[in-house]
Structure 1
Amino acid sequence: MVKTLLKSVRQYKRVSIETPLFVTMEVILECTIPLIMSKLIDDMTGTSMAPILKYGALLLVLATLSLLFGVLSARAAATAGCGLAKNLRRDLYFKTQDFAFADIDKFSSSSLVTRMTTDVSNVQNAYQMLIRMAVRAPLMTVFSVIMSMSINVRMSFIFLALLPVLAAALFGIFFYVHPIFKRIFKKYDALNNSVQENVGGIRVVKSFVREGYEKEKFENAAEEVRKDFTMAEKILALNNPVMTFCIYVSMLLVSFFGAKLIIGTGGSELSTGELSSLISYGVQILTSMMMLSMVFVMCSMAQESGDRIAEVLNHESVLRSPENGATDVKDGSVEFDHVSFRYSGKNKKFALTDIDLKIPSGSTIGIIGGTGSAKTSLIQLIPRLYDVTVGAVKVGGRDVREYDLQALRDAVAVVLQKNVLFSGTIKENLRWGNKNATDEELIHACRLAQADEFVTQFPDGYDTYIEQGGTNVSGGQKQRLCIARAILKKPKILILDDSTSAVDTKTDALIRQAFKHELPDTTKIIIAQRVSSVQDADRILVMDGGRIVESGTHEELLALNGIYREVNDSQTKSKEA
C-alpha cells in the first residue's frame, strides 16, 4: 500500500525530502537551548550582566534559527501533502476513466467518490504529519534523552521508565481503533450512495412524495457513521489523559529527586541550572510523545484510507487494449459467433445464450423484446463495454478484442435511452461527437436528428447553456441532441438503444428517414419498444430470455404469428382504441 501511494509523490519528492532535513535542524537547535539556559542560570553571579548578554545573544540566535527552520519545514510539509493529494486524485480519476463497466460495478460509483475525497484527505493529513511530526517526535525524544543523560544519568532514567508506558498505551489504542475506522469507511460509502441516489432521482422522489422516507434513510446512515466515529473518538480521547498523567508524574519525580540532589550534595552532583534543563528536556520528551500519539491517531484513520486508494490504483481493468492493437476498422459489419455472456463469474445464469448473428455493413437492424430480454446486453458487446464469456464478437471482420479500444469505440456510436448531456452550451455538448466540427456540421447533424427546430427557438440558439444532466430541456429534446452528437461522430456503426422513446412517432419516422438517406454506409442498430420504429429495417430480431427467438423482415415476422405478431397487434389495437 505504502509503495503504491508513494508513486504519486513524483514532482514533490524534493520538498518531501527537505521537510525532515529542516525538522532535524529545528530539533537540534531546540535541544541546544535548554543546555545554554542551564549555563546562564549557573553563571549568574552577583549583578554582572555579562552572562545575560553573552548567553542571551546566543539564545536569541538559536531561537531565531529554530523558528526559521520550523517555518520552512511547515511550508515544505504543506506543499508535499497538498501535492500528494493532487496527484492521488488525478491518478484515481484517470484510473477510473480506464475502468470497464464491470470494474465500476465492483467498486460502485459512490465508493469511488469517497476514495477521491475523504480517503485522499486522510492520506494527505497523515503524509504531512509523517514527514514532519513523525520525524520531529522521535528525534526530539532521542536528542533530549541524550542531553539529559549528559547532565545526569540517574535522573534521565525517570524519562526512560515512562517511555514504555506511553508506547504501550499508543499501540493499544491504535490496534483497537483501526478495525472501527475500517468499518466507518464502508458506512461512508453507503452514506454517499444514499445521497447520490436521492439527488439523481430527486424528480421521482418528489413525484411519489417520498421525501420523508429518503430523509429517514439518510438519517439512519448518518447515525451509523456518527456512532462508530463517536466510539473511535472516545477511545482516542484516552490518549490525552495518559500523556498528561505521564508528564506531571515525570515533572514531580524530577523536581523531587532533583531538589534532593541539589540540597544533599550541595550542588556538586546537580546544579540548579541543570535541574532546570532536565525539566525542560522532560517536557520536550513527553511533548514529543504526545505529538507521536497524534501521528498514530491520524495514521490509524489513514491506513484504511490508503488501503482503499491502493486497491483502486492496483486494480487491473478487466478490459484492456491489446499490445499493438488494430486501429483500422474496415467497415461496419458485425458478427456474433455463438456468443454467450454473463456479467460476472458469480452469476450462474447467462444474460445472453448462443447468439449467432451476422449484420452486413450499411444495413439497418431492428431489435425488439420485453424488459429483461438482454437487448442492451447484446449491443454493449459491440463497442466492448463488456467482454463475451463464450464465443466472439467481430466488427469489420476482426474480433473486437484485437482492436485498440479507442479505435474500436471511435467507430461505434451508442445513443442510450437515458443518455447524458453535460453542463455547458449546446455546441459544447454536440462537439463531444467531433471536437473539430464546424457550426455548419453541427446544424446539419441537428437537422438530421430533428433537433434544429427547437434549438433555434431558444433565445441563445446553439449557445444555450445546458444545466448539469440536461435538466433545462425535455426528455425528447435531450434524446435528439444525443442523436445529433452521435451523428457528428460519423461512426461506422450507430446504435440507438430505445433512444427515440421520448419523441412522437412522426419525429421518430423523420429521424429514421434521415438516417436512410444521409447515412447509407453506416450500420444502424435500432432497439425499440414500438414496432413502428423498426418495421422498415432490413432485418428485425425478436429477443426473449437472452436468445434471438425470431428473425426476419416485418412481413416475414407477421407471417410467423409469434411474439412479433402479438406485439404488433397489441400496439395496433391500442392505436385504434
Structure 2
Amino acid sequence: MLKLFRNLGPYRWAVAAVMALVLLQSLSELYLPTLMADIINDGVVKGDIPYIWRIGGFMLGVTAIGTIVSIASSYLSSRVSSAFGRDVRRKVFRHVESFSLQEFDKLGTASLITRTTNDITQVQSVLVMMMRMMISAPMMCIGGLIMAVSKDAHLSLVFVGALPILALTIYAIASRGIPYFKAMQKKVDKLNLVLREGLTGIRVIRSFNRFEHETARFKEANGDLTRTAIKVNQIMASMWPLMMLILNFSSIAIIWFGGVRVSEGQMQVGDLMAFLQYAMQIMFSLLMVSMMFVMVPRASASAVRINEVLETMPVIEDVEKERKRASENKPAESAARGTVEFDNVTFRYPGAENPAVSGISFRALPGETTAIIGGTGSGKSTLVSLLPRFYDVEEGAVRVDGADVRDLSIEELREKIGLVPQKALLFTGTVADNIRFGKADATDEEVRHAAATAQASDFVEEMPEGYGSAVAQGGTNLSGGQKQRLSIARALVRKPRVYLFDDSFSALDFKTDAKLRAALKAETTEATVIIVAQRVSTVMEANRIIVLDEGRIVGSGTHRELMQSCDVYREIVSSQLSEEEIA
C-alpha cells in the first residue's frame, strides 16, 4: 500500500495540514478533562461560582476550536483522498491502455474493472481513515496515558492489566479476519465476471433458454461472496463487544480503586473524573486502531491487486522517443509507402504448444488487393493481429514501408493502418461520432463520403436524426450488417496507407458486398488492401490470394492460378460456388 501512497506527492502539503489540524483537535480533547477537573476541584468543591463560569467559558472556547479544526480536517482529508483516487484510476487506466492482448488475456477484463473501481475505492476509504487516525489514535493513547499518570500514578497501574489484554484481543481477531479479506476481493472478481458475461451475452442466453443456468452461476458466485463476507463480519463484529467488555471492566476498576484513594484523601474527586475520561480516551483510541485493523487488511489486499496491474509491463514495448526520432529522421526506405511484408513469420499464442502460423512470407503492395482465405483456425485473423502489433512475432519480421513494426512507435505504426475487426464494435454516441473515431477532426463532408463508400449512407439518412442519431452501447440498436458498414466507414475516413479487413463483409448480402468492393476499389487506388474473408466471392477479384491451411501458406496467386495449382483453394471454391459460377 505504501507504493500507492507515493501518488500523494502532489498533495503532501495538504496531508501535512490535515495532520496538523488533527493534532490540534487531539490536544483540545486531551485538555478538556483537566479543565473539568479544575472546575470540580477549585470551583464546585470551594463554591467559587465566578471560577466555574470563567473555566466553563474557556472549555467552550477549546471545544469550539476543536470542532472547527475537526470540520476542516474532515473536509481537507476528503478532498485529498478523492484526488488520490482520481489520480490512481487515471494512472491505472492509462497503463492498461498500453497493454497488449496478452496482458488482457492474463489479468482478465472483469478483474481489471474491479481493480479500477472497487479496489481503488477501498484504498481511498482507508486513506481518509489513516490521515485522521494515524495522528489522532497514537496522540490520544500516549497523551491520555501521560495525563492519566499526571493525575495519579498509582491508579494508572490499572492500564498495566487492561491494555495488554486489549491489544491481544485486537491481534487475535484481526489475524483471523485478514485472510478472509484477501479472499473476498477474488470472489468479487468472480461475481463481476459472471455478471458481465450474463449481461453482455443476454441474447445468446435467452436464445438457448439458459437463463436458469446463468441464474444458478450468479447465485453460486453471489452466495460464495456472501458467505465469506458474513464470516469475516462475524469475526470482526466480535471485536466491538469484547473491547467494550474490557473497557467497562477497566472503568469499574478505576472507579473502585479511585474511590478508595479519594476516601483516603490521596486523590481529589475532579482528578478521578478526569482520570476516568482519560481512560475512555485511551480505550477509544485503541478502538480506532481496531477499526483500522478491520479496514487496512482489505485495503492492503486491494493495493496489492492495483500494484499488480501497475507493475505488469506490456510484452509489446513501445520504442523509446530517441529511437522514434531516429526513425523519423532517417532516409526513406526503398519500399513504397504502404508496402506490407511478412518475412518468414512464426507466432504461437502464450501457453500454446503449436504455432498458430509458421513460416509465413508474402508482400502486399500499394494499389493492390491481397486476400487471405482458409478454413477455420488456419491463422487468418492471427496474421491481421500481428500487423498492428497486438501480438509480436516469435520468429521472422513484419514490415511496413520497409521498416520492422517493432522499430516503429505504436502510434506511428497504427496511424498507417485502418483496421476493420472481425467483430464490429461501436461505441455510445452518434453515428457521426463513431465514424469520426477513425479521424477526430474529420469534416461533415468526409464523414458522409466515408459512409457513402461503405454503403452506409442509405440507412443512416433514413434514421430519425441522420448522422446525429444515437448509437447504443455496442451498437445494439443496429443490425450486424449496419454495424459492419459503419466500422468500414470508420476505417475509410482515416485514409490510411494500409487497410485491414478481417472478415468484415460476412454480414453483408452479396449485392451490398459487390457494391462495397467496387466502391473500395476506386477509394483505395494508392493504398494497400488486405482482406481476410471466408467467402470466395469476396476474394475472387483480388490481385493476389494467399491460401492458409493449419497455419501455413499452401497457395498464392490469382483466382485462376489457384484453381489450377491449389487443392485446398479448389475445395473451398467447390464448397461455396456452383459449377456454372466456377466456370
Shorter-normalised TM-score: what interval?
over 0.9
Code of the aligned partner of 1:390: E
Structure 1 residue aligned with 2:293: 296
Code of the aligned partner of 2:298: M
Structure 2 residue aligned with 1:338: 344
Pairing of 1:377-396 with structure 2 (within 5 A):
377-396=382-401
Verify the 8 A CA contact 2:184 2:225 in the aligned structure 1: yes
Verify the 8 A CA contact 1:9 1:87 in the aligned structure 2: no
Structure 2 residue aligned with 1:465: 470
Query: Which residue of 404, 417, 422 maps to 2:427?
Result: 422
In 2, Cα distance between the equivalents of 1:465 and 1:143?
63
Structure 1 residue aligned with 2:306: 309
Pairwise CA RMSD: 1.6
Structure 1 residue aligned with 2:370: 365
Verify the 8 A CA contact 1:36 1:55 in the aligned structure 2: yes
Verify the 8 A CA contact 1:8 1:84 in the aligned structure 2: yes
Q: CA deviation at 1:58?
A: 1.3
In 2, Cα distance between the equivalents of 1:46 and 1:387?
88
Offset from partner CA, 1:296-324 (integer Å, 9 cap, x none): 10001101001101111122111222113
Code of the aligned partner of 2:365: P
Offset from partner CA, 1:308-346 (integer Å, 9 cap, x none): 0111112211122211323589611111121111122x3
Change (3 A) 1:341 1:69: same
Code of the aligned partner of 1:331: R
Structure 1 residue runs of 5 or longer lacking an equivalent are none
Structure 2 residue aligned with 1:286: 283
Pairing of 1:175-190 with structure 2 (within 5 A):
175-190=175-190
Pairing of 1:254-293 with structure 2 (within 5 A):
254-263=254-263, 265=264, 267=265, 269-293=266-290
Higher alpha-carbon deviation: 62-71 or 354-363: 354-363
Code of the aligned partner of 2:34: L
Code of the aligned partner of 1:72: A
Code of the aligned partner of 2:182: K
Structure 1 residue aligned with 2:113: 113
Verify the 8 A CA contact 2:364 2:530 in the aligned structure 1: no
Verify the 8 A CA contact 1:448 1:514 in the aligned structure 2: yes
Indicate whether 1:239 and 2:239 are aligned: yes
Code of the aligned partner of 1:297: V
Offset from partner CA, 1:223-244 (integer Å, 9 cap, x none): 0101111111111112112210
Indicate whether 1:168 and 2:173 are aligned: no
Indicate whether 1:103 and 2:130 are aligned: no
Offset from partner CA, 1:440-492 (integer Å, 9 cap, x none): 11111111111111111112111111111111111101100110110011111
Secondary structure of the residue aligned to 1:508 is: helix
Offset from partner CA, 1:73-112 (integer Å, 9 cap, x none): 1111111111111111111111111111111111111001
Code of the aligned partner of 1:41: I
Offset from partner CA, 1:182-225 (integer Å, 9 cap, x none): 21111111111111111111111111121111111111110010
In 1, Cα distance between the equivalents of 2:49 and 2:160?
37
Structure 1 residue aligned with 2:460: 455
Verify the 8 A CA contact 1:15 1:79 in the aligned structure 2: no
Change (3 A) 1:170 1:45: closer
Structure 1 residue aligned with 2:87: 87
Q: Give the length in aligned residue pairs.
A: 571
Secondary structure of the residue aligned to 1:153 is: coil
Indicate whether 1:40 and 2:39 are aligned: yes
Secondary structure of the residue aligned to 1:526 is: strand
Code of the aligned partner of 1:438: T
Pairing of 1:14-33 with structure 2 (within 5 A):
14-33=13-32
Verify the 8 A CA contact 1:333 1:362 in the aligned structure 2: no
Offset from partner CA, 1:344-363 (integer Å, 9 cap, x none): 2x322211112122222332
In 2, Cα distance between the equivalents of 1:155 and 1:235?
33
In 2, Cα distance between the equivalents of 1:176 and 1:88?
30
Secondary structure of the residue aligned to 2:155 is: helix
Structure 2 residue aligned with 1:51: 51
Offset from partner CA, 1:115-153 (integer Å, 9 cap, x none): 111101110111011110232111100000000011111
Indicate whether 1:437 and 2:437 are aligned: no
In 2, Cα distance between the equivalents of 1:574 and 1:305?
64
Indicate whether 1:352 and 2:357 are aligned: yes
In 2, Cα distance between the equivalents of 1:544 and 1:57?
92
Q: CA deviation at 1:542?
A: 1.3
Query: Which residue of 548, 551, 568 maps to 2:553?
Result: 548
Question: What is the TM-score of this pair, normalised by structure 2?
Answer: 0.95
In 2, Cα distance between the equivalents of 1:254 and 1:340?
80
In 2, Cα distance between the equivalents of 1:28 and 1:161?
26
Higher alpha-carbon deviation: 479-488 or 312-321: 312-321
Pairing of 1:473-552 with structure 2 (within 5 A):
473-552=478-557
In 2, Cα distance between the equivalents of 1:297 and 1:214?
34
Query: Which residue of 564, 570, 576 maps to 2:575?
Result: 570
Change (3 A) 1:566 1:179: same
Code of the aligned partner of 1:370: G
Verify the 8 A CA contact 1:205 1:211 in the aligned structure 2: yes
Change (3 A) 1:427 1:204: same
Question: What is the TM-score of this pair, normalised by structure 1?
Answer: 0.96
Q: CA deviation at 1:420?
A: 1.1
Verify the 8 A CA contact 1:332 1:362 in the aligned structure 2: no
In 1, Cα distance between the equivalents of 2:28 and 2:199?
55
Q: CA deviation at 1:175?
A: 2.5
Secondary structure of the residue aligned to 1:391 is: strand
Structure 2 residue aligned with 1:9: 8
Structure 2 residue aligned with 1:200: 200
Offset from partner CA, 1:382-430 (integer Å, 9 cap, x none): 1111111111111110100000110100101110121211111111111
Code of the aligned partner of 1:447: A
Structure 2 residue aligned with 1:220: 220
Verify the 8 A CA contact 2:374 2:534 in the aligned structure 1: yes
In 1, Cα distance between the equivalents of 2:348 and 2:235?
46
Secondary structure of the residue aligned to 1:524 is: strand
Secondary structure of the residue aligned to 2:577 is: helix
Q: CA deviation at 1:574?
A: 10
In 1, Cα distance between the equivalents of 2:398 and 2:46?
99
In 2, Cα distance between the equivalents of 1:403 and 1:397?
11
Structure 2 residue aligned with 1:60: 60
